[in-house]
Structure 1
Amino acid sequence: MKILTFFGCIFLSTHLIAHHSTTVNFERAVSPLEGTIKSLKIVNPHCSFVLEVINDDGVSEEWLVEMLAKNALERQGFDFDALQAGLMIKLQGRLGYRPNTIYFVEIELPDGTIIENPGPLR
């Protein structure tokens, strides 16, 4: 019984780690998106914002842009005030395996300012 419990714990722990792995949820290649920030959610455990993008067919799509946790971004000196609803941005990110999700790597603001993901998961 102890062996079964031991292997069960190992099996479950790998799934918990995989949940937070960008490798499991996002591609390695970086892709561009351009659009307008619709809303922001600056909270723990994950910050995110919705980016409204006009696709190749001229249809508006909403993309969920995922980021690190608020406290992790704060420790790295991230400027939350730089991102505001209504702001048009150019985004570089790792596409998610779920539709219309992307992991933030770099943002270019309208004035040319570049905001990089301060975390290790770029």
Structure 2
Amino acid sequence: MLKKILSPGALAATLAIAAPSLAHHSFAMFDQTKVVNLRGTISSYRWVNPHVSLFVEVQEGPVKHGVWAVELTSPGNLTRLGWSRQSLKVGDKVDIEVNPLRDGALGGGFRKATILSTGQVLQARLVEIEKPGG
């Protein structure tokens, strides 16, 4: 009898603990139906788990000017795509495509970047999905 009572409780506790982790890995905060192009200078770059992040100082173009927070995938996934910790650096001038945050804040999910000094293109998607008609 005690075993039957504890099992549902243990299951509920496990699900409660796992829920924030699952929510953290959601991309729902990014509007994947929109792409925003940023031109700016990398002011901060963090190669850490669970997600690589960078901050881009945007001073030109039609987007809101300011520091944009850009989230990438994990260092492990980027390494499998040919990236290294040195792929980007503070001070690099870049063109970056992001899926913007739904709430309108200055941030987005990384799609690709072009380093302006070299023309090198960096992508972070294992498969680029082609949309119908485009």
Is this a same-fold pair by TM over 0.5?
yes
Could you list the runs of 5+ residues in structure 1 that have no partner in the other structure?
none
> What does the per-residue CA deviation read over 1:54-108, in whole Å, with 9 as the maximum and x for residues that have no partner?
1569x85001111111122223321432311111100011111351111110101
Greater CA radius of gyration, 1 or 2?
2
CA distance in 2 between partners of 1:120 and 1:10 (Å): 31
Amino acid at match of 2:39: E
Aligned length: 121
CA contact (8 A) 1:55 1:61 kept: no
- 1:69 aligned residue (74, 78, 88): 74
CA distance in 2, matches of 1:79, 1:7: 40
* 1:116 aligned partner: 123
Q: Distance in 2 between matches of 1:11 and 1:31?
A: 35
RMSD between aligned alpha carbons? 2.9
Gaps of 5+ in 2: 130-134
Normalized per residue, the structure richer in strand is 1
Q: TM-score, normalised by structure 1?
A: 0.77
**Whole-angstrom CA distance in 1 between matches of 2:65 and 2:89:** 19
Q: Secondary structure at the match of 2:86?
A: helix
Partner SS for 1:81: coil
In the alignment, structure 1 residue 81 sits paired with structure 2 residue 86: yes
Match of 1:90 in 2: 95
**1:39, distance to aligned residue in structure 2 (A):** 1.2
**Range that drifts further, 5-14 or 73-82:** 5-14
The AA in structure 2 aligned to 1:116 is: Q
Identity within the alignment, %: 23
